[in-house]
């Protein structure tokens, strides 16, 4: 149930706003009092009880359930991992690429993790096909259609691009993959916690994300949704003891993975990060992702209007359904622009030739106005 209103009420839980305008959630969510207390709770329990493995396993299962609620899945369809890299590596290890479906399709907007793992499968005979954006920064569905065929095993797409903020038509890509009998994986790290995600509505087979960005926790915790009817079909060869059907059996004589998505878990879970992850996701859940999206959309509209006033070139496509929480602005020297804004206690980041401004439930109109005012003073760094 929603009990936290995005804006000033949420902002009060993040001490950084006492002295800084923070607009870099696409890199790292701001630290909340809730997450700090969660780490202290972990340390206190460790100090008082020593090894609390039964309790720590329960915490991991609580995180699994929270991830499931976030994307409209069942807990049995969620693997808890340390990173998207771990999740995707385990996934591709389960793909039988030698059986006539050896093509992996990836978009140019993928995070390096996905592209690098995909190309590593060339050692197993995979063919990797890149889907490149059109000149306007969009990837229309026909470009995916040209790359996907009966030899495609996996299609990888990104819900929101970390490079440009472009919001992809994920259901459309999923439909194309399904028509060719391929699986589709949606990397949703830049979307989780900022825009509603429902795996059934998206039509995806697999979805990944993690807690370091809009889920407001730390690095070291991620998850992967695996559609329930794929559990028996996909048998990963990259594994660990927490993926076993009985974690505490400690049997080294065979490989007996869980019959749920937990077969894509791995070794010892990142217990401190699980405490933090549950706390960060608790804030998001209390506010409601739909309310967060609506709040941020209003801030983005205000930002776009301000950017137009200072003659900034917005690299993010701004058509209907194409915008999320991340807006990218072209710069002649983006790193210098990031430093200039940091000098005014405004935290942003850069990728390629773009300044990245990302807004979340704790940002308010004054933040947007302060960013635009600062950019007007640094026009020489705008293209």
pLDDT of residue 117: 97
Rounded CA gap, 119 and 122, in Å?
5
pTM: 0.95
- The dotted CATH code for 8-30+288-381 is 3.90.1150.10
Q: What is the pLDDT of residues 35-71, one digit of tens each?
A: 999 999 999 999 988 888 888 889 999 999 999 999 9
Contact 155, 118 (CB under 8 A): no
pLDDT of residue 2: 64
User: What does the pLDDT average to over 94-120?
Assistant: 93
Q: What is the pLDDT of residues 175-204, one digit of tens each?
A: 999 999 999 999 999 999 999 999 999 999
Rounded CA gap, 239 and 217, in Å?
25
**Which residues are paired to 345 by β-bridges?**
none
Contact 325, 194 (CB under 8 A): yes
Contacts of 3 (CB under 8 A, 6+ apart): 286
Fold of 38-284: 3.40.640
Rounded CA gap, 4 and 254, in Å?
48
What is the residue extent of each domain of the chain?
A: 8-30+288-381, 38-284
Contacts of 254 (CB under 8 A, 6+ apart): none
pLDDT of residue 82: 96
What are phi and psi for residue 316, nearest 5 degrees? -80, 125
């Amino acid at each position: 149930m929603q009990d936290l209103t995005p804006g000033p009420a949420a902002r009060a839980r993040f001490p950084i706003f006492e002295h800084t305008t923070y607009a870099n959630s696409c890199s790292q969510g701001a630290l909340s009092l809730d997450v700090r207390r969660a780490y202290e709770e972990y340390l206190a329990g460790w100090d008082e009880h020593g090894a609390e493995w039964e309790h720590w396993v329960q915490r991991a299962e609580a995180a699994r359930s929270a991830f499931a609620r976030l994307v409209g899945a069942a807990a049995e369809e969620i693997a808890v991992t340390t990173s998207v890299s771990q999740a995707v590596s385990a996934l591709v290890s389960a793909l039988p690429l030698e059986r006539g479906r050896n093509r992996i399709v990836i978009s140019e907007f993928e995070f390096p993790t996905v592209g690098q793992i995909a190309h590593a499968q060339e050692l197993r005979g995979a063919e990797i096909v890149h889907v490149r954006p059109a000149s306007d920064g969009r990837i229309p569905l026909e470009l995916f259609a040209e790359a996907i065929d009966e030899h495609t095993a996996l299609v990888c797409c990104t819900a929101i691009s970390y490079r440009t903020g472009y919001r992809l038509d994920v259901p459309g890509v999923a439909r194309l993959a399904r028509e060719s009998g391929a699986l589709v994986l949606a990397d949703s790290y830049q979307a989780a916690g900022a825009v509603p995600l429902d795996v059934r509505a998206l039509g995806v087979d697999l979805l990944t994300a993690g807690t370091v960005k809009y889920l407001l926790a730390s690095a070291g915790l991620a998850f992967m949704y695996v559609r329930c009817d794929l559990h028996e079909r996909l048998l990963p060869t990259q594994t660990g003891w927490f993926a076993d059907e009985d974690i505490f059996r400690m049997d080294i004589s065979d490989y007996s993975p869980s019959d749920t998505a937990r077969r894509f878990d791995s070794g010892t879970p990142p217990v401190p990060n699980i405490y933090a992850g549950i706390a960060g996701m608790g804030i998001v859940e209390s506010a409601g992702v739909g309310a967060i999206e609506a709040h941020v959309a209003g801030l983005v509209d205000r930002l776009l209007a301000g950017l137009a006033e200072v003659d900034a070139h917005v690299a993010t496509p701004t058509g209907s359904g194409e915008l999320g929480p991340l807006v990218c602005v072209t710069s002649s020297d983006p790193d210098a622009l990031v430093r200039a804004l940091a000098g005014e206690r405004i935290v942003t980041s850069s990728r390629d030739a773009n300044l990245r401004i990302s807004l979340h439930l704790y940002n308010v109109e004054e933040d947007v106005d302060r960013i635009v005012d600062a950019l007007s003073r640094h026009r020489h760094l705008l293209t």
